[in-house]
Amino acid sequence: MRSPSTAGQWLASAGSGAFEPEKDQTRLAAIPMVFTPEECLRLIAEFTPHLKPASVESMDPAQSAGIRKSSAVFVFPNPSTNWVFDRMRKAIREVNDAVYGFHVSEFREGFQFTRYEVGEYYGPHFDIGPGKLTERKLSLTVQLSAAEDYTGGELIIYPEFVASKDQGTMTVFPSFMCHDVRPVETGVRYSLVSWLAGPQFR
């Protein structure tokens, strides 16, 4: 599998904040340093106390346990989190305008702060689905942990991409792409996940 840096994706130009086109533009975008390491640690400290066992929406607990094992909490805009949404909105809209051109609106579901401990994982799945999930257009994952803080836990976007583990990097991909999180082998993986919504794909 290839990483975003070798897969011909869109990466922010060093020092410019601009985006330079490369090959395979319809699959994956990696935006480095959307959040600083200090901001990543701040988010981990703020939301970890609120974590609860995660489940797969629309599945009963027994089914969900076979697909997903992690802890998570949904966070919505408020005076203390607006800066997070503003940062994500700016980054993902630049990528959408430059790469995808999807008709999108807002983060209608807030964002999900997630923790994967040793042995925890999320099996292959799509972010798009029935009901309100039909509105998901672009998925994003922000790497909050430092790469050296854990092993395993790779985010795989099929058929061949491995998301960056660089702290603060945002990985963006269409919500109809299958992906998974491999079991964490050592340490703890923290991430921030959200979905930019819009009219259903046709």
DSSP-derived secondary structure for 103-139: -----TT-EEEEEE-BT-EEEEE-S--SGGGGGEEEE
Angle at 194 between CA 157 and CA 173, to 5 degrees: 30
Mean pLDDT within 154-177? 94
Tell me the mean pLDDT in the region 175-180: 94
CA distance 114 to 57: 15
137 neighbors 175 (Cβ within 8 angstroms): yes
Please report which confidence band the pLDDT of residue 166 belongs to, taking 50, 70 and 90 as the band edges: very high
For residue 18, name the pLDDT band (cuts at 50, 70, 90): very low
CB 168 within 8 A of CB 34: yes
Q: Is the distance from CB of 176 to CB of 140 less than 8 angstroms?
A: no
- Identify the bridge partners of residue 157 per DSSP, sorted by sequence position: 161, 179
Q: How far lies 4's CA from each of 32, 69, 79, 96, in Å?
A: 11, 26, 34, 17
CA-nearest of 33, 22, 155, 19 to 5 is 22
Question: Is residue 167 predicted with pLDDT exceeding 80?
Answer: yes
pLDDT at 70: 96
pLDDT for position 192: 98
The CA distance from 20 to 15, in Å, is: 12
Confidence class of residue 60 from pLDDT cuts 50, 70 and 90? low
Tokens encoding 121? 């994982």
Cβ atoms 31, 138 nearer than 8 A: no
pLDDT, residue 10, reads 44
More confident residue, 13 or 193: 193
Q: Please, what are the domains in the chain?
A: 4-197 (2.60.120.620)
Single pTM value for the model: 0.84
Mean pLDDT of 103-120: 93
